[in-house]
Amino acid sequence: MTRALVFFLQALLAFAFLGGLFAQVVVIPGTAANEVENFPPYESVRVPFVVFAIVFIACLQVLAVALGGMLQRAGEDTVFESGALTWTNVAIGAITAGALVLATLFVYVTFAEIPSPADGMEVLGLWMGSGAGTVAATGVALLVVVGRKWLGRAIAQRAELEQVV
């Protein structure tokens, strides 16, 4: 992988990280306050939804850092060294944490009394979206676990080959 491509991709990840930080500090709290102003019954669910959103974005930020670390290793041609497994573990942890946040949101929406300004379809959409997101994130985490297993085998085979040569 060329240095220019690694730098470009890391810059994109840094931009995404900073965008997530802006969303956590400005957009999410501001939007929540605006929604409560437009529909005061939302006040009862404002804090939980803000917390869910901020924590979920934090999981994505940790994933961006892990991907940046793996990109750095790709640029240095050190992907098949044992340190790469650390970044893979961080990615798996971030994805799993995101899945747990979505699962918790799913349970919360299932049992909480969430007011609706219309016919309740937005609550149903949130419930279905959090459920589907939980399943998708869990699937991605499992795929990365399989990829980590393959990476571990490749690292072991490379070490064995270096001993032979």
The DSSP line for 60-107 is HHHHHHHHHHHHHHHHTT-TTSTHHHHHHHHHHHHHHHHHHHHHHHHH
The closest alpha carbon to 5, from 61, 62, 74, 64, belongs to 74
Distance CA 58, CA 52 (A): 10
Average pLDDT of every residue of the chain? 95
Residues 4-14 have a mean pLDDT of 95
Task: Categorize the per-residue pLDDT at 117 as very low, low, confident or very high, splitting at 50, 70 and 90.
Answer: confident
Residue 77 or residue 56, greater confidence = 56
What is the per-residue pLDDT for 2?
A: 87
Q: Is the pLDDT of residue 118 over 90?
A: no
Residues 141-160 have a mean pLDDT of 95
| Pair of tokens at residue 127 | 């419930």
Distance CA 10, CA 75 (A): 11
19-52: pLDDT as tens digits: 999 999 999 999 999 999 999 999 999 999 999 9
Domain map (residue ranges) of the chain = 3-164
Task: Categorize the per-residue pLDDT at 87 as very low, low, confident or very high, splitting at 50, 70 and 90.
Answer: very high
